[in-house]
Structure 1
Amino acid sequence: MNIKTSEFKVPEGIAVDLSRLPTQVEPVYRSKKEYKELLAEQVAALSAQQQLQYADNSHSLLLIFQAMDAAGKDGVIKHVMSGVNPQGCQVFSFKHPSAQELDHDFLWRTTQCLPERGRIGIFNRSYYEEVLIVRVHPEILKNQKLPDSLLNDDAIWPNRYKSIVDFEQHMHRNGTKVIKFFLHLSKDEQRKRFIDRIDQPEKNWKFTIADINERQHWDDYMRAYESCLSATSTECSPWYVVPADDKKNARLIVSQVILDAYKDMDMKYPETSEERRQELLSIREQLIND
């Protein structure tokens, strides 16, 4: 499988125009059968890398997924991470903040969920909601009890971008690699998926009136995403804009991005000293003669 993940990476300092980025590209698989085979290979490779990461115990990996409704975040997480040992991976989904969370800064609730060394953390939505949905619905800021002097529209978003970039650089300096995915779904494909959720009774639970209400703000969300991606994609914590109209292809792209990230971690299994090796051989001899 040949996926050039650099094609989807947002370079640092580049102004993003989502209307110029594809929501669908030529698939890397030729059939459903080949897709399953390729995904199985990727999942097995990820499982091996996560085992090495756990043994090395010096790096953690944080994967952040952001997207419009019905873009397939849950499916990507489910399929791509299906082979990873549950003990080495944690998934957190962030929805409306609680009263306690609103009494802290906007990074507080997610900071508590950062992955430990040797583990993978997955954020299904994240602190980026604070510069996305909050920007589209600025009335949410009223519940965050911020001083009036900080609510200047010209300052609050650049300040939050800076806080996020500084936070991610801090994580990078302490051994946590952050990779961020925006699943780029077309408005037409979202409409089709919403209709599918209505037409299939077993999918009705996935659809709410709130989904339609948010769809009315599509253009506002695209502008918020463009601003966010432009301001917060860095060399150490990059954004990847993944075409999401084809769910299968999106999963293969995401899995390859993660595998490429592992290559940069310089991980290794702990070496065994000669003294320890002799001890193990002695124990082995005892077990044989037991």
Structure 2
Amino acid sequence: MSDHARAFAEKFLIKPGRTFKLKDVDPRDNSIFQNEGATKAETEQLARDIDALQDRLYAEGQRALLVILQGTDTAGKDGTIRGVFNSTGPIGVSVTAFRRPSENELAHDYLWRAHLACPKRGMIGIFNRSHYEDVLVAKVRALAPKKAIEQRYAEINAFEKMLTENGTVVLKFMLHISKDEQKERLQERLDNPKKHWKFNPADLEDRKKWDDFQDAYETMLNECSTDWAPWYVIPGDRKWVRNGIIARIVKETLEEMDPKYPKAPWNPKDFVID
């Protein structure tokens, strides 16, 4: 990654080993991208660039990229996937939405379903929510003993280190929205019949625990932003800003990976097609 690209990404990076406060990030910050129209046009070009880089990654077939999207209800995980990866060929991309664990998943360790969904070599894998639900929802709703949750941070770090040591680059984005913005988005789901399917009354119960969730996210970010799989906190109140930032970081990460088309073990001049 060039110095310029690294400087851009580091604006949103949670530096490992440093204490981070979520309140220090303004969810409405648009200092990086100020013009909505220009930013949307740039994001569309970045999405095409990601598609071209993904084609090389798929052809190379040696490494993978895992993109983790985490955020509160209505944070924009679906919108990010559409805005950043909609131009990417479906052959080389897998999307996994982590919902309430099934009976089969609950019969395994909490990381089992995450490992099962990790992208194979040549793929970009996208997690819509992730294994981090087990230190967020599980913590706030007390779905597991406190001691068990506390030990999960180290276990997750070790899991992600294993992935990176075996050829998977891990990008983790926390989509940071304000409580006021969440209110507007939830209300839109009630007002717009086309979005009724997205409304879940249980989201209102989680909203009552907003501060608890913010504390859980802050702990997660501090405990699990590592040198091998750091967290990026993305201002999420403006969707076009969110998409622009994530698209650029994804593109620059793929450029740093620099996948190569494999060389054919034969000379194309040796063949004639009649």
TM-score by length of 1: 0.88
- How many Å separate the matches in 1 of 2:103 and 2:194? 33
Partners in 2 of 1:135 and 1:9 — Cα distance?
Answer: 24
What's the counterpart of residue 35 of structure 2? 30
Is 2:237 aligned against 1:245? yes
1:40 Cα offset (Å): 1.6
Counterparts of 1:216-255 in structure 2, within 5 Å, are 216-255=208-247
Q: How far apart, in 2, do the equivalents of 1:14 and 1:36 lie?
A: 33
Contact preservation (8 Å) 1:5, 1:257: yes
**CA separation in 2, counterparts of 1:156 and 1:248?**
38
- Following TM superposition, by how much is the alpha carbon of 1:263 offset from its aligned partner in structure 2, in angstroms? 2.7
Residue from 191, 195, 203 that aligns with 1:199: 191
Pick aligned residue for 2:88 from 80, 84, 91: 84
Deviations 1:221-250, CA, capped at 9 Å, x for gaps = 000000001000112111110000000110
Which letter does structure 1 place at the counterpart of 2:52?
A
User: Which residue does 2:182 correspond to in 1?
Assistant: 190
CA distance in 2, matches of 1:208, 1:102: 22
SS of match in other structure, 1:237: coil
Deviation at 1:266, TM superposition (A): 3.8
The letter for the 1-side match of 2:130 is S
Contact 2:53 2:255 in 1 (8 A): no
For residue 4 of structure 1, report the CA deviation from its aligned partner: 1.6
Matched, 1:106 2:106: no
Q: Which residue of 2 aligns with 1:15?
A: 19
When the two chains are superposed, the root-mean-square deviation of aligned CA atoms in Å is 1.7
Aligned twin of 1:146: none
Query: Are 2:14 and 2:232, in contact at CA under 8 Å, matched by a contact in 1?
Result: yes
Distance 2:36 2:182 in 1: 23
Q: Which amino acid aligns with 2:242?
A: A
Q: Deviation of residue 282 (structure 1)?
A: 2.7
Does the 8 A contact of 1:15 with 1:226 survive in 2? no
Of all paired residues, the percent bearing the same amino acid is 37
Structure 1 stretch displaced more, 111-120 or 254-263:
254-263
Deviation at 1:78, TM superposition (A): 1.1
Secondary structure of 1:270's counterpart equals coil
